Amino acid sequence: MMINQLINNVWNANLELFRSGLVIQTWGNVSGINRAEGIIVIKPSGVPYSELKNDDMVVVDLEGTIVKGNKKPSSDTPTHIELYKAFPEIEGITHTHSMYATIFAQSCREIPCFGTTHADSFLGPIPVTRFLTQDEIEIDYEKNTGLIIIERFGELNYIQTPGVLVAGHASFCWGKSAVDSVNNSIVLENIAQMALFTLQLNPDANELPKYILQKHFLRKHGPNAYYGQKK
């Protein structure tokens, strides 16, 4: 993908995130990567979505050095970089402070899989990280945010679970493109809301049986998936 096309795609993904209602003020960002060129396009820091223009997007390399653009990249850029380095099959990342996902993150509670709506996109609960230590905050807060996400996925499949809650912070999602990561964030927020209401209605609600969970996930994402139309 040419750099200008990636810039346009990531800009549109950021606008789509804003239109989704998942972000207010400047509470979120979307990035995309061109792995062949080793560059990342990301939203500039502190620029309101209502004012965001195509040429505001910032291009950085995998060390965080600005390659193109006249604005500072998102303060979360080091987190995105670490995730791209550790998760080689992802092409886009979305970070939001959407209400319901953030409620679970602040509660340091994973989002249980109570139903098939959840299972259609995530093969199991949405995990939550540990808290960062004081040393990790002081040494490199944003980079270490990425590292504790990677740590949490030590025994998890980042493709089958394309999202995480950072304890006391908020959510990060990823996908096959910038817009795919936005879509996963939209799903995550909705299933977080459903899970919270489920727990309010029935604090002892059972999680979805594993065989139903696997059926719903694999019929959309498995090797013999049959959901949707053939391409």
Q: Coil, helix or strand for 30?
A: strand
Q: How far apart are CA 216 and CA 178, in angstroms?
A: 24
Q: How far apart are CA 14 and CA 52, in angstroms?
A: 9
**Helical residues (DSSP H) of the chain, grouped into ranges:** 3-20, 77-86, 99-106, 116-119, 134-152, 178-201, 210-221
| CB-based contacts of 68, cutoff 8 Å, min separation 6 | 3, 58, 59
Whether 227 sits among the annotated catalytic residues: the reply is yes
Whether 120 sits among the annotated catalytic residues: the reply is yes
| CB-based contacts of 22, cutoff 8 Å, min separation 6 | 28, 96, 98, 185, 186, 189
55, 61, 140, 227: which one is catalytic? Answer: 227
Per-position DSSP letters for 87-115, written without gaps between them: -TT--EEEEE--HHHHHHHHTT--B---S
55, 120, 141, 204: which one is catalytic? Answer: 120
For 201: left if phi > 0, alpha if psi spans -120 to 50, otherwise beta; the answer is alpha
Task: Please list the active-site residues.
Answer: 120, 227
